[in-house]
Structures are given as structure tokens and as C-alpha cells.
A and B are shown apart, each in its own frame.
Chain A
């Protein structure tokens, strides 16, 4: 079936750097995309979402970019902090249906 994948399984950055986590999706019918942060032993925590009628959405220190032409999603984290260290998942869905998750990218932030 359709699934969402991530380009890199791990990403290591220095504190204060900007981080970019990428995701490719394959279902052109998906109209809703979302990023979660998951710390060890905890459930996924909502970060930011975007609908297919938008290209960019900003939150606090985070920006999501959606490129529907190449089916690509990215999460940008500004001024990355040690507390940002976690596994990041992107997920896709069609409105009202369950999310389809990728495998995740582990972000490690060193101080």
C-alpha cells in the first residue's frame, strides 16, 4: 500500500544550528500531512501540520514545507536545542482517515 518514507534515519547537529528533516510521500491523494516528535518511551507529540492547499506553515521555531510536485515534505527546526533530540516522524492521510507513518529520523543534538 501507500506509505510515507524518510530520507535519512539519523541526523546529528550542533546546538544552535538549524535542522532540516526530510520526508517523501507516495500517495498523491493525501491531503493532510503532520509531523510528530517522539521521545524514548513516550507517545508521539504533535509538532505541526499542513494541508495540501498550502506550501508552507510556520510555528514556534518550526517550519513545514510541502512540495506537491515532487511529493516532498520537510521540517525545519531553527536554533536546535538539546531538548529537540528525539525521533521525528512525518505522516500523511486523507481527511478523516488514519495516519500513515514513515520510519522516522533520529535527531541528535550535541552541545
Chain B
């Protein structure tokens, strides 16, 4: 069964350091999403890609966060510098042309010390 792959699963870093997360969507899925989930809450969108283009990054803190999907396949989300409040689960999801279902990866749990 096709899955969204994310790495690493866990990341511990100190504040002011740089971190990067990687996502490989389900093969053939043109739309890719990055969400952030704070413990006890639902995921919230950070950025949405359609192929290699950003469709919505209105909630992305652009002073420290960046995201790219250069070839329209896999994607990287970067935080520099990390702050204590960035501790959360970072989830990647993808969807295809046949339906609107977003399929999620297992996420990257970030802890900023």
C-alpha cells in the first residue's frame, strides 16, 4: 500500500539551531501539504504545493520557516533558527487528482530544548 514517507521520525534540537524535515508523497500525487500539530490540537496548515508551486503559505512564519518542492515530487521543510515554541509534530500529506482525500505520513516529532 502506498504511503507518505517522512523523515526523521524524531528530532531533538537546541533553540537557534537549524532543522530540516523531508517528505516523499504518494507516487503521482500532485498536491503536497505541510501541517503542524501541537499536542492536543488538530493539525494546522503551514504550506500547500501544487506540483512545484506554492499555492498557500499564508500561515507559514516566513521569517524562520521555508519550504521547497523543487522537482514537484519530494519536499523539504526547514526551520532556522528553531524556537522553543516550534516543538510540535510536523505532518506531511498528499492528495491526487481522483479525489480530495489527503493521506498523511507518520510525522516528525520536533523537540526544541
Contacts and interface: CB of A to CB of B under 8 A. Distances in A.
Contacts of B31: 96
A34 interface: yes
A55 B82 CA distance: 45
Interface stretch (B11-19, B36-44, B66-74): B36-44
Contacts, number: 54
Q: How large is the interface on A (under 10, 10 to 19, 20 to 34, 35 or more residues)?
A: 20 to 34
B41 A103 contact: yes
Interface of A: 4, 32, 34, 36, 41-46, 49, 89, 91, 93, 95-99, 101-104
Contact of B106 (A43, A99, A101): A43
Interface of B: 4, 6, 31, 33, 35, 40-45, 48, 56, 91, 93, 99-107, 109
A107 to B, nearest CB: 15
Contacts of A43: 4, 6, 91, 93, 104-107
A72 B33 CA distance: 26
